[in-house]
C-alpha cells in the first residue's frame, strides 16, 4: 500500500505521522511553523482534522453535551470544537506548505462535506478518528473515494471494527490500516495494550499501527517490535502556547528523539538470517577451536593434555575433539600449533 510516495507494509519503515490537531491554537502562522517543525523533527506526514463545531456536534447546553471525566472537564462540546478546529480556508495554504517541505499531508474528515472538501485538495489518504468508528455512513462514504483509509480503534469493540471494515469493503476499498489507540488524554502507559497491534493485523487481515496518546516515546518504540507500520503522535511547537491538546503533545525535540529511536529500533529488528556480517566474521575469529596445548611428537597418541578448545577460532572446529583424542600424530607439534583432521590417524 502506498500513501503518497511512501510505501507501507512488511519490510518497510514505519510511516510516522505528526498530528496537528488543535495545536495551531487559532493561529495560521503557528500552524505553518508547526508543519515546518514536523519536517525538521523527522515526520513523514502531517495530519489535520477537518470539521467545524457545527459539523461535529450541536450547539446545545443540555447535560448530554457537557464534557465530564477528561482534561476538557466542564466544557460544552460545541465550545471545545469551536476553539480547536482548523479553519477550512487555511487548508489549501497548509497543504501547499507541507508539499514544499516534502511532507505527505492528509486529514480526518468528520462528515460528508469534509470528505468532499478534502477530495478537492486531492488528499492521498483519509484518517477516521477513534470516536467516528461507529459512524458507518461516514466510513463507507470516505472509503468510496478509493484512497487508503486509516482507522483508529480507541473506543472500538470487536463488532465496531468488523462493521467499519465491512463498510470499507462494501465501498470497494480494501486499503485499510487499523491503529491501536487508547482514547484517554493523556493515556496511561499501562493501558497501551500494544499486544493488540499484531492481533489486529492477523485477525482482520490489514496493516496495523499505533495512534498514541501516552507521554514519552516508550510506546511508539515498543510498537515497532510488535509490527506497527504506522505511528501517529500529536505534535506541537511548544506546550507553553497552550491549547486543548497541548498537554499530551510532543514538542519538536521530543518528536525528533522519538523518530530517531523508532528508526534505531527498526534497524535493530533486522531480518531472519544466519548469514554473518563482515563484522561478525571478524568476531568469529575469536571463537573457539582446537589447538595443541602440549608438545606432541610424531607417533604419540593424542590425549586430553595435548589438545584443548580455546580462543581464537583459526584451527580445527571443537566438534572434532572426541574424534582426535586417541589417534596418533603424523608429525611433530608444539604448543599453540593449529591442527587439521588429516594430521592424525
Q: How far apart are CA 337 and CA 216, in angstroms?
A: 56
pLDDT > 70: percent of the chain: 100
Topology classification of domain 7-269: TIM Barrel (3.20.20)
- DSSP for 156-201 reads --HHHHHHHHHHHHHTT---EEEEEE--SSSPPGGG--TTHHHHHH
Residue with cell 472500538: 156
Domain range list for the chain: 7-269, 278-343
pLDDT > 90: percent of the chain: 86
Neighbour count for residue 324 (Cβ, 10 Å): 18
Span of 15-29, 99-113, 232-246 with lowest mean pLDDT: 232-246
Per DSSP, the three-state class of 283 is helix
pLDDT score of 185 more than 90: no
Cell for 19? 498530528
CATH of domain 278-343: 3.90.1210.10
pLDDT score of 184 more than 80: no
Alpha carbon separation from 244 to 180, 181, 217, 231, 235 (Å, rounded): 22, 19, 21, 21, 12
Q: What is the pTM of this model?
A: 0.86
pLDDT in tens, 259-305: 999 999 999 998 888 888 888 888 888 899 999 999 999 999 999 99
Q: Place 249 in a pLDDT band, splitting at 50, 70 and 90.
A: very high
What is the 8-class DSSP label of residue 253?
H
- DSSP for 133-158 reads TT-HHHHHHHHTT-S-EEEE-TT--H
Neighbour count for residue 278 (Cβ, 10 Å): 7
pLDDT in tens, 80-122: 999 889 999 999 999 999 999 999 999 999 999 999 999 999 9
Amino acid at each position: 500500500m502506498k500513501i503518497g510516495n511512501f510505501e507501507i507494509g512488511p519490510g518497510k519503515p514505519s510511516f510516522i505521522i505528526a498530528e496537528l490537531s488543535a495545536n495551531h491554537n487559532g493561529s495560521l502562522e503557528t500552524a505553518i511553523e508547526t508543519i515546518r517543525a514536523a519536517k525538521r523533527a523527522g515526520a513523514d506526514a502531517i495530519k489535520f482534522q477537518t470539521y467545524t463545531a457545527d459539523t461535529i456536534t450541536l450547539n446545545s447546553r443540555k447535560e448530554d453535551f457537557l464534557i465530564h471525566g477528561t482534561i476538557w472537564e466542564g466544557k460544552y462540546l460545541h465550545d471545545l470544537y469551536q476553539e480547536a478546529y482548523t479553519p477550512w480556508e487555511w487548508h489549501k495554504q497548509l497543504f501547499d506548505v507541507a508539499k514544499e517541505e516534502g511532507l505527505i499531508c492528509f486529514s480526518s474528515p468528520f462528515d460528508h462535506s469534509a470528505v468532499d472538501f478534502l477530495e478537492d485538495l486531492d488528499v492521498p489518504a483519509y484518517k477516521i478518528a477513534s470516536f467516528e468508528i461507529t459512524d458507518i455512513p461516514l466510513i463507507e462514504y470516505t472509503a468510496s473515494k478509493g484512497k487508503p483509509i486509516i482507522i483508529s480503534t480507541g473506543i472500538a469493540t470487536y463488532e465496531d471494527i468488523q462493521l467499519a471494515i465491512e463498510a470499507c469493503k462494501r465501498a470497494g476499498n480494501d486499503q485499510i490500516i487499523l491503529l491501536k489507540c487508547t482514547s484517554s488524554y493523556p493515556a496511561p502507559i499501562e493501558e497501551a495494550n500494544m499486544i493488540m497491534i499484531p492481533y489486529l493485523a492477523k485477525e482482520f487481515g490489514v496493516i496495523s499501527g499505533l495512534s498514541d496518546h501516552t507521554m514519552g516515546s516508550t510506546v511508539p518504540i515498543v510498537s515497532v517490535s510488535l509490527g506497527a507500520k504506522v505511528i501517529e503522535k500529536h505534535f506541537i511547537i511548544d506546550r507553553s502556547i497552550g491549547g486543548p491538546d497541548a498537554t499530551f503533545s510532543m514538542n519538536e525535540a521530543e518528536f525528533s528523539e522519538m523518530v530517531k529511536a523508532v528508526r534505531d529500533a527498526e534497524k535493530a529488528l533486522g531480518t531472519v538470517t544466519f548469514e554473518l556480517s563482515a563484522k561478525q566474521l571478524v568476531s568469529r575469529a575469536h571463537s573457539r577451536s582446537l589447538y595443541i596445548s602440549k608438545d606432541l611428537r610424531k607417533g604419540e597418541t593424542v590425549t586430553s593434555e595435548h589438545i584443548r578448545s580455546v580462543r581464537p577460532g583459526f584451527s580445527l572446529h571443537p566438534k572434532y575433539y572426541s574424534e582426535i583424542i586417541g589417534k596418533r600424530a603424523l608429525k611433530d607439534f608444539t604448543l599453540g600449533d593449529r591442527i587439521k583432521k588429516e594430521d592424525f590417524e
